[in-house]
A and B are shown apart, each in its own frame.
Chain A
Amino acid sequence: MIYLGQTVAAEFISAETIARVLRVVLLLAIGLPVLKVATNFVARMLRHRFSAQHIMLVRKGVFYTGSAILLLSVLRELQFDLTALLGAAGLVGVAVGFASQTSLSNLISGLFLISERPFEVGDVIKIGETTGVVLSIDLLSIKLRTFDNRFVRMPNEMIIKTEVVNITRFPIRRMELNVGVAYKEDIRHAVKVLKEVANKNPFVLDEPEPMVAFTGFGESELKIFIGVWHAREDMLKLRDSILPEIKERLDAEGIEIPFPHRTLYVGDVTKPLPIDLHQPEDKVEKAE
């Protein structure tokens, strides 16, 4: 038995096979580290010239191309017939293509997104009802982290079709506030007071200067618009400081912020509504 086994082993594991396996091992042992070094080198070369997602894409491109070359070399070394393999791969490709139309659509949308660059990794964007920080832009989808720390995956096809708002694209933004003051108030004085509040807040940019304007007559109030510019990172600090400041200053100036109210008119020009005050019956009994 031992003799037979040694013969079989000798037939299948010839010196040539061993040499071939050694070559494959050598190919992988050299090829994989070289591929890793090459991807890192390319990433380092592009670091100062391209954005994070472009570098990531180039890295992936270099890695997958290198891996494919390495795989083909290994298969060739193992004496696989690559012509037949490629032919089969073509047929499989057509079948997979039909089966993965959505993925292909996402892939093509991803390429458009990457070339158009409406946002970058780290930007805060709003898509539909979702607002979050872009974690990555991949070929099939983008990944977001929302402010309540949820992970959201958005297919690229959907992003191409939907309105995308990039909240942090520009370094400064305008915060828009609407304040109502009572009809009895002096509009010019109220506008002046609100302008002073805006000018005094250190998070409000001095230029472009704050815009405070009387915009119309509301149901219960005179409407005043306040548009103040701020550095994008100061948005929360500004909102948390200017809203209390407006209320405190209007209170200090005796300017009323009215509650919504409605005047009922019952005809006869100026006759008021008759009002009778009644005490509830149980309270009347207790009082007695």
Chain B
Amino acid sequence: MKLPLGRTLHWQLGQLSLWLERSAEEILLAFDRNDKEEDRLVVARLEAKPQDLEWQRFAVGEGLDRITFRPLLSERPMIVRPESAITVPPGMSSDYYARVPLWIGLEMARPGDDPVALVEIPTVVLSNTWFGEDTMSGRLCYAMRTTARRTLQDVAARHHRAICPFQVRNVSKEPLVCERFSMDVQHLALHELDNLLWTPTVVITHRGSEAGQEVEFSQQTPDKRPLGPVISPAREPIGGSFLRQSISSFNLASLFR
């Protein structure tokens, strides 16, 4: 949409509120968060400029006044827990749905030109977490506050979250205890389906404690519906399957007690 000169517009996506103002040479941006407002949506409402916020300035010059809000997934993996630890017996598989928080990428463009990325803002502030066998090797991730659910009906639709379905297949000969799942969302694109944002289904195949876990992405939902058009491409696209430990069955803190 086009930003009016000298007027302040307000958007709210869940907890995130942001204000934009176009001056002759600059774009001014301020944002704030309210933990209590989980599901509020405000789009481009004209408001008086809030004075008590810290304003960021972008020197974009004249002409660059069309703003696009691009939904993005995190640049780091997201860790999601089931409601409680769950065991997948040998030869079985189970489906889960997680609501992944989105980042909002602000892009400006002249008509006919490629957009210029200004800034990325997470809609919610997530805690950091560690996913690895010990405190020396592993990867830094974000911890999701919501839990993974077994059915889609249990996952409430939200404008500022994407539905990330995943399937755990245990093809090993031992039971697989799942305490935490690591979702490599940086490899996932965002698709539109039924007016909601979806990621491809993450299929994690457990081949045994020695053989590791294989991850691949399916362009269908677990109930076999094809995904809609791509809204945002993956940050780090990856083709085919890859090996990555994605399920953890123990608590690292127990190592330090």
Chain A positions within 8 Å of B, measured between CB atoms, are 170-172, 174, 199, 201-209, 211, 227, 229-231, 234
> Once bound together, how far apart are the Cα atoms of A206 and B145, in whole Å?
10
Contact (A202, B252) CB under 8 Å given A171-B140, A229-B135, A231-B140: no
Residues of B contacting A170 in the complex (Cβ-Cβ under 8 angstroms): 135-136
A201 to B128, CA, bound (A): 9
Known contacts A172-B135, A172-B140, A231-B140; decide if A205 and B129 are in contact (CB<8 Å). Answer: yes
Interchain CB contact (< 8 A) of B255 among A171, A203, A204, A208: A208
Question: Are B253 and A207 touching (Cβ within 8 A)?
Answer: yes
Which B117-136 residues have C-beta < 8 A from chain A?
Answer: 125-131, 135-136
On whether the beta carbons of A205 and B256 are closer than 8 Å, the reply is no
B251 at the A interface (CB under 8 A): yes
- Which 4 A-B pairs rank lowest in CB-CB distance, beginning with the nearest? A206-B143, A206-B129, A208-B252, A209-B253
10 chain-A/chain-B pairs, Cβ below 8 angstroms = A170-B135, A172-B140, A203-B128, A204-B128, A205-B129, A205-B143, A207-B129, A207-B253, A211-B253, A211-B256
Q: With a CB–CB cut-off of 8 A, which chain B residues contact A211? A: 253, 256-257
CB-defined contacts of B131 to chain A, threshold 8 Å: 207
B180: Cβ under 8 A from any A Cβ: yes
- Report the minimal beta-carbon distance from B208 to chain A, rounded to whole angstroms: 24
- Chain B contacts for A204, CB-based, 8 A: 127-128
A234 and B130 alpha carbons, distance in the complex (Å): 13
A205-B127, A206-B143 known, 9 other contacts, Cβ within 8 Å: A172-B130, A174-B256, A202-B128, A205-B143, A206-B127, A207-B131, A209-B253, A211-B253, A230-B128
Contact yes or no, A207 B130, CB < 8 A: yes
Residues of B bordering A, CB below 8 Å: 79, 125-131, 135-136, 138, 140, 143, 180, 251-253, 255-257
Closest CB of chain B to A207's CB: distance in Å? Answer: 5
- Using Cβ atoms and an 8 Å threshold, which residues of chain A touch B252? 207-209
Q: How far is the CA of A201 from the CA of B127 in the complex (A)?
A: 7
CB atoms of A207 and B257 under 8 A apart: no
Residue of B nearest to A232 (CB): B140
Give the nearest-CB partner of A173 in chain B: B135
**In the complex, what's the smallest C-beta–C-beta distance from A201 to chain B, in angstroms?**
8
CB distance from A234 to the nearest CB of B (A): 7
The CB with the most chain A CB atoms within 10 A, among B126, B128, B138, B253, is that of B128
Which residue of A208, A209, A211 has the most chain B CB atoms within 10 A of its CB atom?
Answer: A208
The reply to whether B79 and A207 form a contact with Cβ atoms under 8 Å apart is yes
B178 to chain A, nearest CB (A): 14
Shortest beta-carbon distance from B257 to chain A in Å = 7
* Contact in complex: A208, B128 (CB < 8 Å): no
Please report the C-alpha to C-alpha distance between residue A202 and residue B127 in the assembled complex, in whole angstroms: 4
In this complex, the member of B127, B131, B138, B257 whose beta carbon has the largest number of chain A beta carbons within 10 angstroms is B127
